[in-house]
Amino acid sequence: MKKVLSKKNLWEKTPSWIKSTLGRGLGLIPPKWLLGKSFRENCKFISDAQWWSEEQAHKYQLNKLREMLKLAYEKTEFYSRMFDSVGFNPRDFQSLDDMGRLPMIDKQVVIDNLSDMCTKSVDDKDVDFGSTGGTSGTPLHFYMNANRSSVEYAYLTTSWERAGYKLGMPVAMLRGRIVNPDRNGFRHEYDPILRHHYYSSFHMSHENMKRYLKHIATIGPCFLHVYPSSIAALARFILRSGTHAPKNIRGVIAESEIVYPEQRQMVEEVFGCCLFSCYGQSEKLVLAAGCEHSDDYHVWPTYDYFELLDDEGNPVTTPSQRGEIVGTGFINTAMPFIRYRTDDWATYVDNHCEACGRKHTIIRDIRGHRTQEVLIADDGSEISWTALNMHDDTFLRVRQFQFLQETQGRAVLRIVPADGFGEDDADRIHRNLGRKLDCRLTFTIELTEAIPLSPRGKAIYVDQRIQQEKEFR
Ligand SMILES: [Zn+2]
């Protein structure tokens, strides 16, 4: 149970009528000042640090890790036990390579040891409770610093600036927030400090999307901050209704879900601007973002100590090779995550970006939670959902869709139809997907009124009910 409200939570939980009343005055003050001194200092540090040399970044990481390991060892029973079991004392920590001596932890370890992993009382006012969603398996609960938001937000906004965002620009948000309807049934809320317009991504009906777009067109030069699935739904709506995207949208920032190449292409075409993506987790382990010239993810070296490891636990340093993302976050000192296996996998590109010159680790094709993304063919082989994601008009008159699979070689494609969906559409879906599936998997179409999203409002494309023996990656 969470008790004390941190400053950020307090503002978030303030009723919207109070916010809008206060906001009339606050709207005149630059957000950088409203967000406070710590935020401004973080922004300055981060803006500079992104241009550091590799040596500077490594030195910083070494110091941060030293602090973090010492804190974890001295203040938590869990890490004290673990370090002792491998004969590791943080005092002997000399180089980044020493990290390899420590065991890795994963979600199950955190679930089993939660109460022994905190560096201070969970009732402390500086500690917040957090959790990550997930429809299959147990959600992960953890604790984190209440003051993390100003650091986190500084990293995000500094990343977004590469896409042309400027602090103070209005942002239209379609990201799983519960937004209640106003008197006129319009699901919109406004936060005058952050200048965020929230729309409900749980209610993407034809009528509501029309209202969202009409409203977005009135908020001036702005950015959209979205889940890839919610912006793809909006793009399909624009395509099938034959309208145009509002001209005042300067860029689309997509986070929290995988960005599929087909989705990126469609969104960029429909909105006529760039889709910029960031990768991060609620546990604040690793943060990576694109740059001015490239969609590849640049891993922030000052946010965390990042490792990409192969099946044997060795660092991946060969371009095109895949590895699991293992993170040691610097932001969360309330409950350190040290060498945490994220279960997300990525392709190694380089140790710097040719295009922008930043000396960051560059990765691409981040994929996670694979079991939700594969269908099992007749012969037991796996068909990646990515391969079935269509960029053409296949799903034009479809609001939402999801495969449900309970039997090898067969699946049900659940569809929430958009206006005008008819037999022609069902035929086209059968034909186009059938071409890709090549008789390896047959499916029937089932029309439904709604497809449940994950608790955080993210789309789940494959509801996979077959227990898979081998781990897919
Ligand atoms: Zn770059």
pLDDT at res. 455: 64
The confidence band for 216, taking pLDDT boundaries of 50, 70 and 90, is very high
Higher pLDDT, 267 or 377: 267
**For 1-19, what is the mean pLDDT?**
51
Distance (angstroms) between ligand 1 centre and the Cα of 291 equals: 5
The confidence band for 28, taking pLDDT boundaries of 50, 70 and 90, is low
pLDDT at 468 over 70: no
Higher pLDDT, 272 or 33: 272
Distance (angstroms) between ligand 1 centre and the Cα of 245 equals: 28
Distance (angstroms) between ligand 1 centre and the Cα of 162 equals: 9
Distance (angstroms) between ligand 1 centre and the Cα of 79 equals: 36
**For 66-92, what is the mean pLDDT?**
96
Distance (angstroms) between ligand 1 centre and the Cα of 355 equals: 5
CA atoms within 13 Å, Cβ hemisphere of 30: 7
Distance (angstroms) between ligand 1 centre and the Cα of 135 equals: 34
pLDDT at res. 258: 77
Distance (angstroms) between ligand 1 centre and the Cα of 39 equals: 24
Distance (angstroms) between ligand 1 centre and the Cα of 325 equals: 20
Distance (angstroms) between ligand 1 centre and the Cα of 43 equals: 19
Longest Cα–Cα distance of the chain, Å, equals 69
pLDDT at res. 122: 85
**For 254-260, what is the mean pLDDT?**
82
Distance (angstroms) between ligand 1 centre and the Cα of 223 equals: 21
Distance (angstroms) between ligand 1 centre and the Cα of 256 equals: 20
**For 223-240, what is the mean pLDDT?**
89
**For 80-102, what is the mean pLDDT?**
95
Give the pLDDT confidence of 400-415 residue by residue, as tens digits: 888 999 999 999 999 9
Residues with Cβ within 8 Å of 63's Cβ and at least 6 positions away in sequence, in order, are none
Distance (angstroms) between ligand 1 centre and the Cα of 61 equals: 21
Q: Is residue 95 within 8 Å of residue 62, measured between CB atoms?
A: yes
pLDDT at res. 79: 98
Residues with Cβ within 8 Å of 167's Cβ and at least 6 positions away in sequence, in order, are 30, 31, 32, 43, 157
Ranges 197-201, 367-371, 381-385: which has the least confidence:
367-371
Percentage of the chain beyond pLDDT 70 is 86
Ranges 233-237, 374-378, 427-431: which has the least confidence:
374-378
**For 97-106, what is the mean pLDDT?**
95
pLDDT at res. 456: 63
CA distance 207 to 125: 43
Distance (angstroms) between ligand 1 centre and the Cα of 266 equals: 23
pLDDT at res. 30: 65
Q: Strand 297-299 vs strand 362-368: parallel, antiparallel, or unpaired? A: antiparallel
Average pLDDT over the chain reads 86
Distance (angstroms) between ligand 1 centre and the Cα of 295 equals: 8
Element containing residue 269 per DSSP (H, E): helix 261-271
pLDDT at 155 over 80: yes
Q: Find the helix packing angle between 261-271 and 228-241, rounded to 10°.
A: 50
**For 288-299, what is the mean pLDDT?**
96
Give the pLDDT confidence of 415-443 residue by residue, as tens digits: 999 888 999 999 999 998 888 787 888 99
Distance (angstroms) between ligand 1 centre and the Cα of 358 equals: 6
Distance (angstroms) between ligand 1 centre and the Cα of 123 equals: 42
**For 118-138, what is the mean pLDDT?**
74
Percentage of the chain beyond pLDDT 90 is 56
Residues with Cβ within 8 Å of 443's Cβ and at least 6 positions away in sequence, in order, are 403, 410, 411, 412, 413, 433, 437
CATH class of 371-464: alpha beta
Q: Is residue 216 within 8 Å of residue 172, measured between CB atoms?
A: yes
SS3 call for 82: helix
pLDDT at res. 326: 97
Distance (angstroms) between ligand 1 centre and the Cα of 347 equals: 16
pLDDT at res. 81: 97
Distance (angstroms) between ligand 1 centre and the Cα of 294 equals: 6
Residue 69 exposed, middle or buried by CB count within 10 Å (0-12, 13-18, 19+): buried
pLDDT at res. 266: 92
Distance (angstroms) between ligand 1 centre and the Cα of 364 equals: 12
Distance (angstroms) between ligand 1 centre and the Cα of 360 equals: 8
pLDDT at 372 over 70: no
Distance (angstroms) between ligand 1 centre and the Cα of 161 equals: 13
Distance (angstroms) between ligand 1 centre and the Cα of 359 equals: 9
